[in-house]
């Protein structure tokens, strides 16, 4: 079967039910990367890690995810997709169990790295959904699935805080391992098989990543914009639990409710997909980057209303980050249907390197300059993206 006929055949199999299943699996898998974020204050002293180095737990998980994106996700253009997702999910189960039982910082940090590395099945699912969906609704389908992914990111934090508050932080990772076992059953029994037509070797596949990066300016531009956006997203969500606990006296359960409010931002995904399908990608990105840069202002209100202001910041920032990601994904997926897994690998690797940057500087910035330094850095990242977007939009090959 040719690539065109294969895509057409696959497109007929995408239903609303399957899209919802993809969204659920994406949310459950990506949540693994974020369970530790709101409870690093509990984990670090228990395993002997200093407060300044505590954010390494989050950043190493994101670095592991970026490495997995670069080295594992391109295999989605070469190997049968369902088997590949099953293998990565099996490693995720073992990594989460290792984190649950780790007693030393080195072992826990290694487990964190592997949790991120093994959670990339989500980025094999998304290009598969793009293959299954017809062109005219691709943005909407990807947007719906990305909504599930963002819900997974945002609900991971309150779930983690609540479990840790009642059963201890180790129960968080044990519960996540059980969830991955259930997901592996779902993947094995419901996700369609997809054997790519690409015939290159793994070495040639990795080499082609550089070729794609060089030849696709839209990919480079969109990856840079979203890396900046995700840096500020990770910065905020790594620092805000520390601020809420240290200066506003919130418990882990109260921090969980705060994080739950941020899940409202997930409504951006389907909305952004529809805008992209309708040809409004530029306006959507301009809106997202501008309001992300302004989103930290509500968190500077008087102390009596600071928690409400931070909640507003979280909702607006999550909405903007999600909108820009979906619009960028649709633009990247449209570049070359045969290379979608590799294009997605490059796009998402850049994003999570940006996220790791935001996470790794969060603790140091907060320790030395408090919330004020978080606001400055958090506003700067999307502002840089906005300036580059305006510069590129003025040229003939704008993304």
* CA-wise closest residue to 43 among 310, 380, 363: 363
Q: How far from chain centre, in Å, is Cα 317?
A: 14
Domain boundaries, given as residue ranges, for the chain:
3-393
* Angle (nearest 5°) at CA 151 between 287 and 296: 40
Output the pLDDT for position 89: 94
Q: Would you say residue 10 has pLDDT above 50?
A: no
Output the pLDDT for position 12: 41
Q: Would you say residue 331 has pLDDT above 60?
A: yes
Q: Determine contact, residues 32/92, Cβ cutoff 8 Å.
A: yes
Q: Would you say residue 25 has pLDDT above 80?
A: yes
Output the pLDDT for position 352: 81
Output the pLDDT for position 351: 87
pLDDT tens-digit map of 211-235: 889 999 999 999 999 999 999 998 9
Instruction: Determine the average pLDDT of the residues in 233-254.
Output: 88
Instruction: Determine the average pLDDT of the residues in 105-111.
Output: 94
Question: What is d(CA 302, CA 308) in angstroms, rounded to the nearest whole number?
Answer: 10
Output the pLDDT for position 389: 95
Q: 0.85 cut: is pTM over it?
A: no
Q: Would you say residue 307 has pLDDT above 70?
A: yes
- 354: Cα within 13 Å, side-chain hemisphere: 27
> Which tokens sit at 371?
């919330």
Output the pLDDT for position 4: 40
Output the pLDDT for position 353: 86
Question: What is d(CA 326, CA 266) in angstroms, rounded to the nearest whole number?
Answer: 11
Buried b or exposed e, range 317-346, using 16+ CB within 10 angstroms: bbbbbbbbbbbbbbbbbbbeeebbbbbbbb
Output the pLDDT for position 268: 61
As a three-state string, the secondary structure of 197-256 is: CCCCCHHHHHHHHHHHHHHCHHHHHHHHHHHHHHHHHHHHHHHHHHHHHHHHCCCHHHHH
Instruction: Determine the average pLDDT of the residues in 304-315.
Output: 90
DSSP state of 193: P
CB-CB neighbours of 66 under 10 Å: 23
For the chain, the average pLDDT equals 85
Question: What is d(CA 364, CA 39) in angstroms, rounded to the nearest whole number?
Answer: 17
Q: How far from chain centre, in Å, is Cα 100?
A: 22
Buried b or exposed e, range 21-36, using 16+ CB within 10 angstroms: bbbbbbbbbbbbbbbb
Question: For residue 13, what pLDDT band results from cuts at 50, 70 and 90?
Answer: low
Output the pLDDT for position 88: 93
Specify the higher pLDDT residue, 272 or 103.
Answer: 103
* CA-wise closest residue to 28 among 121, 114, 94, 99: 121
Question: What is d(CA 107, CA 103) in angstroms, rounded to the nearest whole number?
Answer: 7
Question: What is d(CA 210, CA 346) in angstroms, rounded to the nearest whole number?
Answer: 9
Which fold is adopted by the domain 3-393? Answer: Growth Hormone; Chain: A; (1.20.1250)
> Which tokens sit at 181?
């076992």
Output the pLDDT for position 276: 65
Question: For residue 50, what pLDDT band results from cuts at 50, 70 and 90?
Answer: confident
Q: Determine contact, residues 143/268, Cβ cutoff 8 Å.
A: no
Question: What is d(CA 16, CA 351) in angstroms, rounded to the nearest whole number?
Answer: 28
Rounded to the nearest 10°, the torsion over CA 225, 55, 116, 333 is -10
Question: What is d(CA 316, CA 304) in angstroms, rounded to the nearest whole number?
Answer: 20
* CA-wise closest residue to 151 among 320, 285, 307, 29: 29
pLDDT tens-digit map of 123-159: 888 878 877 777 767 777 777 787 788 778 778 888 9
Burial zone of 286 (CB within 10 Å; 0-12 exposed, 13-18 middle, 19+ buried):
middle
Question: For residue 106, what pLDDT band results from cuts at 50, 70 and 90?
Answer: very high
Region at 296 (left for phi over 0; alpha for psi -120 to 50; beta for the rest): alpha
Specify the higher pLDDT residue, 390 or 264.
Answer: 390
Instruction: Determine the average pLDDT of the residues in 29-38.
Output: 90
Question: For residue 253, what pLDDT band results from cuts at 50, 70 and 90?
Answer: confident
pLDDT tens-digit map of 336-395: 877 877 888 889 888 888 988 998 898 889 988 999 999 999 999 999 999 999 999 876
């Amino acid at each position: 079967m040719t690539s065109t006929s294969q895509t057409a055949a696959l497109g007929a199999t995408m239903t609303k039910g399957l899209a919802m299943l993809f969204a659920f699996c994406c949310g459950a898998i990506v949540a693994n990367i974020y369970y530790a974020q709101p409870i690093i204050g509990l984990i670090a002293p228990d395993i002997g890690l200093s407060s300044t180095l505590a954010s390494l737990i989050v950043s190493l998980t994101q670095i592991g995810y970026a490495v997995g994106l670069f080295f594992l996700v391109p295999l989605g253009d070469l190997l049968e997709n369902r088997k590949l997702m099953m293998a990565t999910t099996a490693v995720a189960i073992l990594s989460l169990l290792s984190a649950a039982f780790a007693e030393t910082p080195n072992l826990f940090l290694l487990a964190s790295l592997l949790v991120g590395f093994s959670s990339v099945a989500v980025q094999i699912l998304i290009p598969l959904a793009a293959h299954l969906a017809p062109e005219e609704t691709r943005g909407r389908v990807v947007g719906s699935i990305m909504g599930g992914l963002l819900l997974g990111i945002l609900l991971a934090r309150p779930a983690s805080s609540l479990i840790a508050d009642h059963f201890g932080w180790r129960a968080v990772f044990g519960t996540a391992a059980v969830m991955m076992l259930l997901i592996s059953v779902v993947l094995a029994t419901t996700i369609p098989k997809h054997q790519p037509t690409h015939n290159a070797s793994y070495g040639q596949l990795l080499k082609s990543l550089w070729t794609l990066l060089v030849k696709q300016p839209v990919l480079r531009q969109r990856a840079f914009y979203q890396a900046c956006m995700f840096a500020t997203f990770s910065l905020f969500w790594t620092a805000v639990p520390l601020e809420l606990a240290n200066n506003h006296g919130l418990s882990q359960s109260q921090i969980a409710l705060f994080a739950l409010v941020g899940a409202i931002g997930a409504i951006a995904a389907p909305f952004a997909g529809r805008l992209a399908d309708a040809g409004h990608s530029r306006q959507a990105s301009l809106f997202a980057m501008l309001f992300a840069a302004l989103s930290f202002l509500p968190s500077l209100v008087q102390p009596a209303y600071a928690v409400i202001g931070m909640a507003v910041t979280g909702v607006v920032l999550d909405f903007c980050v999600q909108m820009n990601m979906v619009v960028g994904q649709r633009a990247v997926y449209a570049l070359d249907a045969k290379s979608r897994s590799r294009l997605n690998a490059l796009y998402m690797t850049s994003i999570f390197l940006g996220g790791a940057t935001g996470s790794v500087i969060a603790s140091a910035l907060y320790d030395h300059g408090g919330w004020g330094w978080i606001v400055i850095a958090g506003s700067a990242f999307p502002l840089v993206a906005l300036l580059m977007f305006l510069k590129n939009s003025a040229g003939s090959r704008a993304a």
